[in-house]
Structure 1
Amino acid sequence: METSRIPGFYNMTVEERREIIAKLYNITDRSQLFSEQPLKTETADKMIENVIGTFPLPLGLGLNFLINGQEYAVPMAIEEASVVASASYIAKIVRGAGGFQTEATERIMIGQIQVVGCEDIYAAKRAVLEAKESLIQAANAAYPSMVARGGGAEGLDVRILNEDASSAYSQMLVVHLYVDTCDAMGANIINTMVEALAPTVEELTNGKVYLRILSNYADRCLAHAKCVIPPKLLKSEGFSGEEVRDGVVHAYEFAASDPYRAVTHNKGIMNGIDPIVIATGNDWRAVEAGAHAYAARDGHYGSMTSWTVDGEGNLVGELELPMSIGTVGGATRVHPMAKLALDILGNPSASELAQIMVAVGLAQNLGALKALVTDGIQKGHMALHSRSVAIAAGATGEMIDIVAEKLVQLKEIRVGKAEEIMETYKDDR
């Protein structure tokens, strides 16, 4: 797209926004994609069991994102007020500093084979390692189409767990199969491969194989985002840029030091990432699990992000996370809105999509921290939340904005007060 800056987008009607997006992305068939129920019940019934309907979420666009010099309007499916607005606001600030810089490692996912009951666990480990090349070949033979796409199994390792005899758990051998899944998330690919290897591994180890499944702790499939922001761009009403910068650093240090704070801090990061994972038809539970495990990789659960000050006084933010996502297969091929989301993003590779996600996660974290160290989180959040409260109280049409505005003025964002306001307007009539 030419630019992800669309001034006044939030003030437009939904139909006006759809018109702009349809033109920007050459969406010709708008009837289904922008209908009230784009996911047909008969399609949903084939996706999961015991279907009784579908459960829509609001789908918005995170605007202003400049990532590695490229413009992105980012589809975000989420019910929480202020997330899309906050991410877009920070993206506008960061683009003034040159945008986000991102990179990613190779897309190597991990399959695990658990072996127990080995008579000699060290001999078993040696036997598997000696057969490493033949095992890799066998894994690729189990899924040749992945090899044809340029991916496939390319490494193998063996670990011994609970080696100490004093451990409360059984001693076991774990085989790790490393697979390049290209643009697929790779769950079915990896599970097929490790299940195919299980009988051979049993023979080699003289043990019993139990679990053979992928790991969602994709620490060889990482995405990294960085931004460098001059303090002048952080200036807020009543706060200098330097004050905001230092407050953000102190807030990060709090999360890095205390797991009670880190959990909420990191939840805010995932507020930016999960909506994209959902919008693109990916597995947000897998991404969440891997992200939180990575935040505790040194034995202490801490902040996923880091915020520091460089030698020139700039605020420097960084975020690195495992990203077990894909752009082919699964719901990305079935759900019409997932297809639309990927179209809006320019049909990125899985690596590019992962980098977009961590950039938005970094933006969302800064948005929360900036609010916390200045006016507090409630001022902006509750202003947006007031509309949901008005709807919950029964407001419709233009009355929603009238009631919401009054709630903000009174600084009482609650359903009971909204109902009182509505009764007042009824009496006035």
Structure 2
Amino acid sequence: MNSRIPGFFKLSPEERLEKISQELHLSEEDKKVLTGNAGFTVENADRMIENTIGYLPVPLGLAANFKINSKDIFVPMATEEPSVVAAASNASKHAYESGGFTTTYTGSIMRGQIQVTNVKNPYFALAKIYENKGKIMQICNEQDSTLVSLGGGAKDIDVQIVETEIEKMVVVHLLVDTRDAMGANAVNTMAEAVTPFIEEITDGCVVLRILSNLADQRIVRARAIFKDPSLHGEGLKKFMDSYQLALFDPYRAATHNKGIMNGISAVVLATGNDTRAVEAGAHAYAAVSGRYRSLTHWELGENNELIGMIELPLAVGLIGGATQSHPVAKLVTKMLDVSSAEELAGIIAATGLAQNFAALKALAGDGIQKGHMKLHLKNIAVMAGATSEQIDEVVTKAIQKETHRFDDIKAIVEELRQRDRT
């Protein structure tokens, strides 16, 4: 498969789907699911959440030009924001010829926290917990024999003393290998099951027993070399200056990382994973040094190359939750042709790095609004009252007039109405 399809963005949705169907060997039923003619229903929605009254479709696009770990991949992205898919596709094109993206994964260890309060001698309790590690592991692993049979399960503990304004609390961290699942249900079940034993050996009172979304033992890294002929001289300096501000200024870093999450969250959502968990973990990880900083690192290479690396926790899975119960999410993972959470996490991290390159390049050039608003024109045309037949003409006229102001777009729509009446 070749992820490079020149002019892909110029095709109609039907033409794109047909093109991709050939590359990914999609069936007619698969195509019906993607176009909303089959698949997700209100009945599906009612099984997923409470008080269901309907569902909200989100546009699903494909980012092209990705090569990840020597494999060409089309990256499905679910997002309502214009320019995200285009930016990822354009950025990955500039990394393609230099080998694309290379990713690594530290493993699928998640933390479950058990908060123990009212402990008279916290350090004595800490020692007792470590002495009973074998029993704790046994209780935890009895809760999920399937996970254990796959090589996962509770692997270790990490006991910490947390001094609060009220008291010194003992916090037991269960370190659980969740394999190809995100793991929240498995970890929470283990934490609740072992609570009575923890209370018995500490003579304390357990309050919280729940997974932590700061998955600092589930780190993904992606690197790539970007060769963009349009970036040189002053443009390169502005690119690096933009990155440096995100390293040292939390106000800039927040927006810098939000741009990264535009790409990451779009793939997480498309695959039916938990966007809130991933976002919480990423932003917490950005602040572990004590100062909120960029999730990416950029260096200058030879011949105007930009060398990028992203590092963040990614708790995503292929088993359980909406990944399996949502027909579109299930089809998306089929399109990605991934067989492990590690592969999926690598694709997501690479997309975040590509998104960051695109954003910094735009900021170093004409600014973020020129490209974004050009792609946003269709939305503005609809807001201004354009019919389906008028949208493309409204966009064309707005581009000719070099405007994206709502009042100007509305005036164009009114001109077309007047013309069509005569």
SS of alignment partner, residue 142 of structure 2: helix
- The C-alpha deviation readout for 1:367-426, integer Å capped at 9, x for no partner, is 010011011111111110111101111212341111112223333313332221111122
Q: CA deviation at 1:276?
A: 0.3
Instruction: Note if 1:399 corresponds to 2:390.
Output: yes
Matched, 1:306 2:297: yes
Range moving further from structure 2, 419-428 or 321-330: 419-428
| Residue of structure 1 equivalent to 2:311 | 320
Is 1:155 equivalent to 2:146 in the alignment?
Answer: no
How far apart in 2 are the matches of 1:207 and 1:418? 66
Residue 56 of structure 2 corresponds to 55
1:188 aligns with 2:185: yes
State how far apart, in whole Å, the 2-side matches of 1:104 and 1:71 are: 19
For each residue in 1:339-367, what CA deviation from the matched residue of structure 2 results, as whole angstroms up to 9, or x when unmatched? 11101100331111111111110000010
Which residue does 1:269 correspond to in 2? 260
Q: For each residue in 1:282-320, what CA deviation from the matched residue of structure 2 results, as whole angstroms up to 9, or x when unmatched?
A: 000000000000100100001111111246763211100
Once the 2 structures are TM-superposed, how far is the Cα of residue 34 of structure 1 from its aligned partner?
2.3
Instruction: Kindly indicate whether the alpha-carbon contact (under 8 Å) linking 1:382 and 1:408 is maintained by their aligned counterparts in 2.
Output: no
Secondary structure of 2:391 counterpart: helix
Superposition deviation, residue 37 in structure 1: 6.6
Which one-letter code corresponds to 1:154 in the other structure? Answer: K
- What SS does the aligned partner of 1:62 have? strand
Q: Give the whole-Å Cα distance in 2 for the aligned partners of 1:87 and 1:361.
A: 8
**Partner in structure 2 of residue 35 of structure 1:** 36
* Corresponding residue SS for 1:133: helix
Is this contact kept in 2: 1:276–1:357, CA < 8 A?
Answer: yes
Using the alignment, how far apart are the partners of 1:14 and 1:277 within structure 2? Answer: 22
Matches within 5 A, 1:88-99: 88-99=89-100
Alignment-derived partner of residue 10 in structure 1: 9
Secondary structure in structure 2 of the residue aligned to 1:250: helix
Deviation, 1:36, is: 5.0
Q: Which residue of 2 aligns with 1:204?
A: 201
Q: Deviations over 1:256-289 (max 9, x none)?
A: 1111111111100001100000000000000000
Q: What is the TM-score normalised by the length of structure 1?
A: 0.94
Q: Give the CA RMSD over aligned residues.
A: 1.4
For the residue of structure 2 that corresponds to 1:241, the secondary structure is coil
What secondary structure sits across from 1:159 in the alignment? strand
- What's the CA shift for 1:153? 0.7
305-314 or 402-411: which moved more? 305-314
Tell me the residue number matched to 1:79.
80
Tell me the equivalent position of 2:217: 220
**Alignment partner, residue 244 of structure 1:** 235
CA distance in 2, matches of 1:193, 1:362: 35
Deviations 1:201-228 (A, max 9, x none): 0001000001111111000001001112
Whole-Å Cα distance in 1 between the matches of residues 277 and 209 of structure 2?
17
1:318-338 residue CA offsets vs partner (Å, 9 max, x unmatched): 100000110111101110110
- How far the C-alpha of 1:246 sits from its partner, in A, is 2.3
Structure 1 gaps of 5+ residues are none
**2-side partners of 1:90 and 1:191: how far apart?**
39
After TM superposition, give the deviation of residue 428 of structure 1 in Å: 2.6
Asked whether 1:356 is paired with 2:350, we answer no
CA distance in 2, matches of 1:409, 1:36: 36
Between the aligned partners of 1:90 and 1:182, the Cα distance in structure 2 is: 31
Q: Per-residue deviation at 1:102?
A: 0.9
Letter matched to residue 235 of structure 1: P
More off after superposition, 345-354 vs 177-186: 345-354
CA distances 1:101-158 after superposition (whole Å, capped 9, x unpaired): 1111111011110000011111111110000122112111111111011111111110
Instruction: Tell which deviates more after alignment, 329-338 or 406-415.
Output: 406-415
1:33–1:336: 8 Å Cα contact kept in structure 2? no
Do the aligned residues in 2 keep the contact of 1:25 with 1:344 (CA within 8 Å)? yes
The aligned amino acid for 2:62 is: L
CA distance in 2, matches of 1:369, 1:286: 26
Q: How many residues align?
A: 418
Q: Could you tell me how far apart the structure 2 residues matched to 1:31 and 1:275 are?
A: 21
TM-score normalised over the length of structure 2: 0.96
Q: Say if 2:108 and 2:179, in contact at 8 Å, map to a contact too.
A: yes
Query: CA offset at residue 198 of structure 1?
Result: 0.2
Write the deviation string for residues 181-218 of structure 1: whole angstroms up to 9, x where unpaired.
Answer: 01000001001111110000000100000111111100
